[in-house]
């Protein structure tokens, strides 16, 4: 495993080169990106330039976020599919570990089975294109009850549900974006994690939960830095990842108001130090 960062997730702003600098200041070992942005940089400057910038910073590429047009109307979706091979090629060439997106855990228009079929139909072509370029796709389940309790129709919100969707997609390269926050919010246990293999996990997010907030009231947009409160058992979480042989990126996603008040340099250092503390505590 390696400690990675998504600049936007820790309130770090700047150009690609600037965010690489902040990532290095924070002691991270890799940096996530976006498929669209990476493909645009590759077009303008070339993949050798991108690889060179990663190397200069002593970092490696992490996961690349999938364009959100996969869930849009038919026209934008088809346009995204047409552009996806070029994006996937650029991501593969810069050494991305995979591509990721999240699943909305409820719907106002589609009942569960209809929604399941819609996701299979939308994501299967995407997964096939990524597979053609040696990339996997990680799907993130969204666990908090507050994200679905007032919706008309519920949908997938657990690890097992997403794995089942991956089986239905059937391309062999669909796995989990496994987030400690969502694992906690679905009453996740060590045995749930121990049921996985490293092949099931494409990417990992790590964070903590606010203290003194009942599980059923946790707000998806209000989290904490890794190890900040001790509510989420990150030692067990990371230990299970180590035991299963996961070798990919682990990225903090704290949704922290505290970080948003800091400079980019200080936010990167604060997030990096928090991740390193739980990393060391887990014996990694």
Under the banding of pLDDT at 50, 70 and 90, the label for residue 78 is very high
Alpha carbon distance 227, 229 (integer Å): 6
> Would you state the pLDDT for residue 26?
98
Mean of pLDDT values over 98-126: 98
> What is the rounded average pLDDT of the residues 233-250?
98
pLDDT of residue 21: 98
Euclidean distance between CA atoms 284 and 279, whole angstroms: 6
- The answer to whether 259 and 244 are in contact (CB under 8 A) is no
Domain, as residue range, for 170: 2-281
Which has the closest alpha carbon to 20: 30, 11, 9?
Answer: 30
What is the phi/psi pair of residue 8, to 5°?
Answer: -65, -30
pLDDT band of residue 229 (cuts 50, 70, 90) is very high
Rounded mean pLDDT, 236-242: 98
| pLDDT tens by residue, 186-227 | 999 999 999 999 999 999 999 999 999 999 999 999 999 999
H or E segment to which residue 51 belongs: helix 47-56
Q: Give percent of the chain with pLDDT exceeding 90.
A: 100
Reported confidence tier of residue 178, pLDDT bands at 50, 70, 90: very high
Q: Name which of 55, 18, 33, 5 is nearest 269 in CA terms.
A: 5
Measured CA to CA, the distance from residue 71 to residue 57 in angstroms comes to 34
On whether the CB atoms of residues 81 and 129 are closer than 8 A, the answer is: yes
- Average pLDDT score over residue span 26-32: 98
Tokens of 77: 């979706």
Work out the pLDDT band at 119, boundaries 50, 70, 90: very high
Nearest-angstrom CA–CA distance, 27 and 67: 28
224 strand-pairing partners: 208
**Which pLDDT belongs to residue 259?**
96
Collapsing DSSP states into helix, strand and coil, what is residue 130? helix
pLDDT of residue 144: 98
| Average of per-residue pLDDT values in the chain | 97
Give the chain's domain count: 1
Residue 60 pLDDT level (bands cut at 50, 70, 90): very high
Who's near 100: CB < 8 A, 6+ residues apart? 63, 64, 65, 66, 137, 138, 139, 140, 177, 202, 203
User: CA-CA distance, 214 to 212, in Å (whole number)?
Assistant: 7
CA distance 165 to 197: 17
State the CATH number of the domain containing residue 137.
Answer: 3.20.20.150
pLDDT tens for 146-162 read 999 999 999 999 999 99
**Confidence bin at 53 (pLDDT 50/70/90):** very high
In contact, 185 and 158? CB cutoff 8 Å = no
pLDDT confidence tier of residue 166, bands split at 50, 70 and 90: very high
């Amino acid at each position: 495993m390696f400690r990675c960062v998504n600049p936007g997730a820790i309130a770090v702003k700047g150009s690609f080169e600037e965010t690489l600098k902040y990532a290095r200041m924070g002691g991270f070992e890799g940096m996530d990106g976006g498929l669209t942005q990476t493909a645009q940089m590759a077009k303008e400057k070339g993949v050798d330039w991108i690889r060179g910038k990663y190397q200069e910073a002593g970092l490696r590429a992490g996961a690349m976020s999938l364009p959100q047009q996969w869930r849009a109307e038919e026209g934008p979706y088809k346009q995204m599919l047409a552009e996806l091979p070029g994006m996937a090629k650029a991501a593969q060439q810069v050494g991305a570990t995979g591509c990721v997106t999240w699943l909305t855990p409820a719907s106002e228009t589609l009942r569960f089975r209809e929604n399941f079929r819609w996701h299979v139909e939308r994501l299967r072509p995407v997964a096939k294109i990524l597979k053609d370029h040696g990339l996997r796709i990680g799907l993130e389940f969204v666990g908090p009850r507050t994200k679905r309790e007032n919706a008309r129709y519920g949908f997938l919100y657990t690890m097992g549900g997403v794995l089942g969707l991956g089986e239905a997609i059937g391309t062999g390269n669909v796995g989990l974006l496994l987030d400690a926050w969502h694992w906690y919010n679905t009453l996740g246990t060590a045995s749930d994690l121990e049921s996985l293999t490293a092949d099931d996990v494409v990417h990992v997010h790590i964070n903590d939960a606010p203290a003194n907030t009942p599980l059923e009231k946790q707000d998806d947009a209000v989290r904490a830095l890794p190890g900040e409160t001790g509510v989420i058992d990150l030692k067990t979480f990371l230990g299970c990842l180590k035991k299963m042989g996961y070798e990919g990126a682990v990225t903090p996603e704290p949704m922290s108001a505290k970080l948003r008040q800091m400079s980019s340099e200080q936010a990167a250092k604060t997030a990096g130090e928090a991740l390193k503390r739980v990393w060391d505590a887990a014996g990694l």
